[in-house]
Structure 1
Amino acid sequence: MLIGLGGCSQIGYYAQSIDGHFTVLHEARPVSDLLAQPTIAPRLRARLIEAEQIRSYAVSALDEPDNGSYRSYADLKRPFVVYNVFAAPSLSLKLRESCLLVVGCVEYRGYYSRESAEAYADELHRDGWETFVAGIPAYSTLGYFDDPLLNTFIYLPRAEVARMIFHELAHQILFVRGDTAFNESFAVTVETVGVQRWLSEHPDAAMEYERYDARRRQFRQLVDSYRKRLETLYGSAETDIQKRAGKDALFAGLRADYEAMKTSWGGYKGFDPWFATHLNNAKIGSFATYNQWVPAFMVLLAQSHDDLPTFYAAVKAMSKRPAKERNAELAALDSTPAAAVARTSLDTPIQAGR
């Protein structure tokens, strides 16, 4: 298969992808086997039991796939499972696409080693692209393999573990080749609804999650507000010199506003690593990928009477239409008053019973 792909760089990329993924699978052990070991660390035991309960909830309450995914565990001895490379021009937030087997064209390229990701980012930077390397704690193989629980996310707050499992399983329900915004917005919709429902049955987990979730949402709102201002700047009639000056001013403003936000958090530094590296269009542009159509999908869910199987069927029907028709339908949903309400709700921290 690799011989037929052509190009040494492409062969090398697919080889590291295949080797990296099978290394992850090789490290995975069934959760049931691990729990049967008397020597397992108590903290890991507790987390695996909770993850098993969350996995069962995904099937019984969210109608997500009942298969071998997230029923095994692997300790990769590193903080992230993959590293995604995003790239954008110096005066645009339009992300560079990579067209790959199985998933089609996506707005990033993933690597299993940080060194390989940074080498590719350096290559793009030499060609004039602004780049951002993002560590990713979980990913989905779309049901082709049984994805394991990982040390990269198992110790996060319980509701955050639930969110990630619900999100990745949603990709197994539906995935459209080459439409990142559609796929990620659908998965974010499922994760959001799933966490709300899970918290309503696990109020003991709400307190630890509310602060975690509130800070993340405030951070996302801050970056999104600057993303919109950058889009306005880049689409204006200003000269390139004026645009570059305006861009520098906006990035300085973003840093200053973050410092003020951090003060309101009592000095919480959880997002400092994001600001520790150079701010650029690739970093800002990556934010739009996951949430573009979430309000529209929320409206569609409401039209489905909040019944997830009915909603899944409606989204699957939509996914079979040409991209132009699909996007037009989503844009129509997104322009409704109900979408505005959903957008406001998405900016409000999740709470038990909501």
Structure 2
Amino acid sequence: ADRARRRGGAPRCDDGAAVAVSNRPGPVLGPALAPARTTVLATVLATVLATVLGAAACSADAAWLVEQGVGQAEVLAAARPIGPLVRDPRVPAVVRRRLALAVAARNFAKTELGLAVGFQYRTAAFLDAPAVVYVVAAAPRTSLEPQTWRYPILGELPYRGYFSIDDAEGAARALADQGLDVDVRPVTTFSLLGVAPDPVLSTMLFSGDELTLVETVIHELAHATLFVPGQGAFNEGLATFIGREGRRRFVLKHWGEGSAIRSRMDSRDRDDAAYLRGVGALAFDLRVLFAQAGTLRAAELLARKDHIFVEHQRHWEEEVAPTLTSVRYRRARLPENNAQLSSFGIYTLKQRVYQEAYLGCHEELRCLLSLLRRVAAEPDPELALAERVHRRGAEVFLP
């Protein structure tokens, strides 16, 4: 977003710092898909919210909360019902097909997977941007424990989102100045956790192929079904597992066992497993190194860390990537610093425990969800889940 354009007219605190107000939705893909105009009421409410909150607490957190509230209000104001869009011949055929697929995935998640769908994904919003938000993550240079931020309602989470890439990069620079490894990545969608109806975003429609879209819809609906404040790794772990398993089931029912897209999914999953092995090996070697922090000088520790990253990347590019079939993984790079690695690990590195719990449920997702709801009440849900899996082995996890 253009910083100068966004900043004009923003309420200001006494120290002169402007409260960022996102000017997000804009026309893309032609006039038939131009975002609906923000209503006068929405504009008034956003202005009142920004002014009141900005005047009440002129702090970085207050400014950030204002930006998120106003930015999200603008996204919701741009949403329009999917049904008329799918029937509108002015809408490009590829867009209509993707919208219909998102709705099919939503309905499948409700009827076949037992997820709480509510009013999610009944509308679509088309944004003039490649991403809806930009997420900042950070970690110490000698640890894989991520930096966390505390939020109202959500609790403590290992990332912070910004509607403006400029703001995200500014926050990342400030964290780097504190001696942290940092990462900024674009995000194509996120869940409002059922508090408000999530629209299908143009950014998620075209961030990948059909497999990616189906998995994304189910992943976000898993968040709306079960979310534990302050447990980022548990929330993302369960959503990642349910998203992938839900995608597999959808493909088998929607396209069939012998379909080309089934073959593509299997090939991608094999490549994904190879990538996870590479990331897991990298994380293991770094944890072994960081455990020696008390016996090594700081300069030597960091030099060894850099060497580990370089060697694992070399092995990936020379030995593993050429054997893969999907372009996305042949061109992929392993995480390049602790922030990237810790962020990736939150989603993927503990998937085995979810898989084992799922097998213990005889591959019934409703049973798995029941188990996850029970461990969600524990102080450390991931640990509680791992202990139950270890204690009960392959027994069925009865509700």
Where do residues 1-354 of structure 1 align in structure 2 (5 Å cutoff)?
A: 2=53, 6-155=57-206, 156-201=208-253, 202-203=255-256, 204=259, 205-236=261-292, 237-260=295-318, 261-265=320-324, 268=327, 279-323=336-380, 326-333=381-388, 335=390
Partners of 1:266 and 1:311 lie apart in 2 by: 32
- Largest Rg, 1 or 2: 2
Contact 2:275 2:329 in 1 (8 A): no
**Cα 1:70/1:271, change in 2 over 3 Å:** farther
* Counterpart residue type for residue 386 of structure 2: A
**Cα 1:63/1:104, change in 2 over 3 Å:** same
Greater Cα offset, 251-260 or 106-115: 251-260
Contact 2:321 2:329 in 1 (8 A): no
Percentage identity across paired residues of the two chains: 26
Greater Cα offset, 67-76 or 224-233: 67-76
RMSD, aligned CA: 2.5
Contact 1:157 1:208 in 2 (8 A): no
In structure 1, runs of 5+ residues without a counterpart are 340-354
Q: How many equivalent pairs are there?
A: 335
Contact 2:78 2:126 in 1 (8 A): yes
Partners of 1:310 and 1:212 lie apart in 2 by: 27
* Counterpart residue type for residue 280 of structure 1: N
Partners of 1:226 and 1:153 lie apart in 2 by: 30
**Cα 1:219/1:62, change in 2 over 3 Å:** same
Contact 1:188 1:291 in 2 (8 A): yes
TM-score normalized with structure 2 length: 0.77
1:346 is matched with which residue?
Answer: none
Q: Shift of the alpha carbon at 1:131?
A: 0.5
Partners of 2:130 and 2:272 lie apart in 1 by: 19
* Counterpart residue type for residue 124 of structure 1: L
Partners of 2:371 and 2:263 lie apart in 1 by: 34
Partners of 1:112 and 1:135 lie apart in 2 by: 10
Which deviations, in whole Å up to 9, do the C-alpha atoms of 1:205-253 show, x marking residues without a partner?
2133333443333223212211111111011233323211211111111
TM-score normalized with structure 1 length: 0.86
Contact 1:181 1:292 in 2 (8 A): no
Partners of 1:338 and 1:21 lie apart in 2 by: 44
Higher relative contact order (CA 8 A, sep 6+): 1
Contact 1:299 1:333 in 2 (8 A): no
Partners of 1:214 and 1:116 lie apart in 2 by: 37
* Counterpart residue type for residue 341 of structure 2: I
Q: Shift of the alpha carbon at 1:310?
A: 2.8
Greater Cα offset, 292-301 or 8-17: 292-301
Q: Shift of the alpha carbon at 1:197?
A: 1.4
